[in-house]
Amino acid sequence: MERPIDRLLEIMTRLRDPERGCPWDREQRFETIAPYTIEEAYEVDDAIRRGDERALRDELGDLLFQVVYHAQMARELGHFDFDAVADAICEKLVRRHPHVFGEAQSGGTPANWEAIKARERSDAAARRGRVGSALDDVPKSLPALARAAKLQRRAQAVGETEPDPGTRVRALLDSWDGEPASAQIAGELLFATTALAQQRGLDAETALRDANAAFEARVRERERRAGES
């Protein structure tokens, strides 16, 4: 019996077929597909937050299709294929879980998780002929709040600390009082607020999404009441 993943790979190959494929699919490149990949990841998150299991199944399928799409384009260029993608993540998971797959199996969370990732970043930088940084491979395409939080965590892991975020937030608000609008101060304030949320054990991106949802609910409710009056 044909496995669903094999059928999906065959469908993807047919969609990209130069003669029999879909004209739209044949024209796509990594750069044009990337926005759809990001969108599908957010739709997975939305299904999880709504507790919709059927939608989650469907959205995970859409996200898997994005992986298959990129792998197919890479195969056509002679770079790698889907199997290589799967092999790479298998190797990474085993490498980063020596407490599970190594000789000394404890079943716990490795204390050296960050050390393993730091060594990988250092090795990758060395292959490119430069000095590695704790901030390497933090994607620039991440949403700004999520990227700020990740940069802060990485810096903190290597002992790079910023001033107390609560103090920093108050100082920025004071400096802004009565002053002309400043994009720099606004950015610094958002960055410090992100750090403050992390200090309190919160994720700024999730907190802002919840605030967006609460604001949307309030506005919709006011609109509903206005429509009834």
State pTM to two decimals: 0.71
What pLDDT score does 135 carry? 81
What pLDDT score does 1 carry? 82
Q: How far is CA 118 from CA 42, 131, 136, 188, in A?
A: 28, 12, 9, 27
What pLDDT score does 131 carry? 67
Residue with tokens 């991106």: 205
What pLDDT score does 119 carry? 72
Given a cut of 70, the residues of the chain with pLDDT beneath it are 103-114, 117-118, 121-126, 131-132
Nearest residue to 30 (alpha-carbon basis) of 83, 80, 66: 66
CB 198 within 8 A of CB 181: no
Return the biggest CA–CA distance within the chain.
71
Alpha-carbon distance of 107 to 94, in angstroms, equals: 13
What pLDDT score does 193 carry? 94
What pLDDT score does 163 carry? 80
The residues near 106 (Cβ < 8 Å, ≥ 6 apart) are 99
DSSP-assigned letters across all residues of 60-92: HHHHHHHHHHHHHHHHHTTS--HHHHHHHHHHH
Alpha-carbon distance of 41 to 104, in angstroms, equals: 36
What pLDDT score does 125 carry? 65
SS percent in the chain: helix, strand, coil, step 5: 70, 0, 30
- Look at the alpha carbons of 86, 92, 95, 101 in this order and tell me if their dihedral is positive or negative: negative
Domains of the chain plus CATH, in order, are 4-95 (1.10.287.1080), 99-137 (no CATH), 138-229 (1.10.287.1080)
For residue 188, the tally of other CB atoms under 10 A from its CB is 17
Residue with tokens 């939080």: 149
Burial 30-41 (b: 16+ CB within 10 A, else e): eeeeeeebeebe
